């Protein structure tokens, strides 16, 4: 671009760049599953590598430490499924069975609202219960597609498990290949970025696991005390949705609030109060205590990454949006921003968590 306006070279470069972006996006769209599996594997390795390294330093070989780690993880997961799945499944079936009754009560409250509040026309918002009942059959008919998707997810989980095991047992070739992919003068900066990524992803994993467990327990106790028949079901949902920052806690409250609203509006207010209190405790006490200052993402950044990862990878992408944002932020900070500041002669800053990262690493932490 010059003072004379748009030149032919500028137009050509813009067209070539647009074509390049289109080709890249087209290519990515065809290997999106491979990218997703690789990304999850990378996050798993970064998360559990400090544990395996700690065991290796205390006399347990990496292969034995990896086997012990995954045995404990899979055993714990299997135990949780064994203990929770029957009750959660029964409560879900009861909720589906009670759905017509809940909708009928909702229609009744809308009718009363129309009679008391001028200008509210309930006829425009009437719910045809028979139509909704007919919609259940097509939804249940989609179980075949759900089964197919479940099999694909299970296959992907097996691939992630196998590749993660190999990477944890012998990570040195992967690290060396990663560093050798850039010129020697950039390797120290890339190594620093890798260390920061490891520290922050490890902090995110610890904080998320602790938050999920805490939210699950608090939600279950609160809803059980309020008399919810589906307390465990909503608690499990709230625990999983805790992995989605900002948006997840809001979504976890929708189901209980709606169920309480059609049963007793006062109960719905209590449910809202309970979820607000739980999230305040989690946001201002639990997470800062566990994550400290290691993970520092702006809510707008998190929402942006949730939308991007959801569009690219679906529901799984939403759940891994936060660690992906952490990795992207560190790489931008270390590989671009710091080099730019050096070239401009400005003071090099590696973000507000740089000093704490220097003092704490996954290896030293363990």
User: For the segment 57-93, what is each residue's pLDDT rounded down to a tens digit?
Assistant: 999 999 999 999 999 999 999 999 899 999 999 988 8
Q: Characterise 198 by phi-psi region: left (phi > 0), alpha (psi -120 to 50), beta (else).
A: alpha
Q: Which residues contact 39 (CB under 8 A, 6 or more apart)?
A: 320, 324
The residue with greater pLDDT, 133 or 34, is 34
Q: Which of 127-131, 298-302, 316-320, 362-366 has the highest mean pLDDT?
A: 316-320
**What is the per-residue pLDDT for 123?**
53
Query: Whole-prediction pTM value?
Result: 0.72
Q: Which residue has the higher pLDDT, 104 or 350?
A: 104
Specify the pLDDT at position 357.
43
Domains of the chain by residue range: 32-180, 182-360
pLDDT, the chain, mean: 78
Q: Residue 182: which residues within 8 A CB-CB, separation 6 or more? A: 190
Please name the helix (run of DSSP H) or strand (run of DSSP E) that holds residue 64, with its range, or none: helix 62-116
**How many angstroms separate the CA atoms of 361 and 198, rounded?**
8
Q: At what angle do helices 231-241 and 247-263 cross, to 10 degrees?
A: 160
Name the pLDDT band for 113 (thresholds 50, 70, 90): low
Q: Are 337 and 330 in contact (CB under 8 A)?
A: no
pLDDT tens digits for 86-112?
A: 999 998 888 888 777 777 777 766 676
Q: What is the pLDDT of residue 131?
A: 52
Tell me which of 99-113, 124-138, 216-230 is least confident.
Answer: 124-138
Residue 156 tokens, joined: 């992907």
pLDDT of residue 293: 56
Distance CA 271, CA 261 (A): 9
Largest distance between two CA atoms of the chain: 76
Q: Provide the pLDDT for residue 16.
A: 83
- In the prediction, which pLDDT does 102 show? 74
Q: Tell me: the pLDDT tens digits for 257-309?
A: 888 887 788 888 999 999 999 888 877 777 776 665 556 677 788 788 888 88
Q: What is the mean pLDDT of residues 222-250?
A: 89
- Which residue, among 208, 343, 173, 197, has the nearest Cα to 287 in the 3D structure? 208
């Amino acid at each position: 671009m010059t003072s004379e306006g748009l030149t032919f070279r500028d137009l050509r470069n813009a067209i070539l760049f647009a074509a390049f972006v289109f080709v890249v996006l087209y290519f990515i769209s065809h290997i999106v599953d491979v990218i997703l599996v690789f990304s999850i594997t990378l996050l798993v390795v970064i998360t559990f590598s400090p544990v395996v390294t700690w065991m290796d330093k205390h006399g347990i070989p990496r292969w034995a430490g990896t086997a012990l780690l995954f045995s404990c993880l899979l055993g714990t997961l299997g135990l949780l499924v064994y203990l929770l799945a029957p009750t959660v499944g029964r409560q879900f079936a009861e909720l589906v069975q009670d759905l017509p009754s809940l909708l009928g009560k909702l229609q009744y409250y809308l009718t009363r609202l129309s009679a008391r509040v001028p200008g509210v026309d309930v006829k425009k918002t009437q719910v045809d219960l028979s139509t909704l009942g007919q919609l259940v059959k097509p939804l249940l008919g989609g179980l075949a597609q759900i089964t197919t998707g479940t099999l694909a997810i299970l296959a992907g989980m097996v691939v992630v498990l196998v590749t993660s095991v190999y990477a944890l047992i012998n990570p040195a070739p992967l690290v060396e290949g990663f560093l050798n992919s850039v010129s020697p003068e950039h390797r120290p900066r890339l190594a620093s970025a890798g260390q920061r990524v490891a520290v922050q992803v490890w902090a995110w994993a610890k904080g998320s696991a602790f938050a999920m467990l805490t939210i699950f327990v608090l939600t279950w106790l609160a809803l059980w005390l309020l008399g919810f028949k589906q307390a465990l079901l909503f608690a499990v949902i709230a625990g999983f949705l805790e992995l989605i920052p900002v948006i997840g806690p809001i979504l976890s409250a929708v189901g209980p609030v709606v169920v309480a609203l059609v049963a007793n509006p006062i109960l719905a207010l209590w449910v809202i109060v309970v979820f607000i209190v739980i999230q305040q405790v989690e946001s201002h006490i639990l997470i800062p205590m566990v994550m400290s200052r290691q993970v520092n993402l702006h809510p707008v950044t998190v929402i942006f990454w949730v939308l991007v990862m959801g569009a690219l990878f679906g529901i799984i992408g939403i759940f891994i949006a936060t660690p992906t944002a952490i990795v992207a932020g560190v790489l931008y900070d270390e590989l671009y921003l710091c080099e730019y500041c050096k070239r401009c002669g400005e003071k090099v800053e590696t973000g507000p968590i740089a000093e704490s990262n220097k003092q704490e690493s996954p290896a030293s932490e363990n």
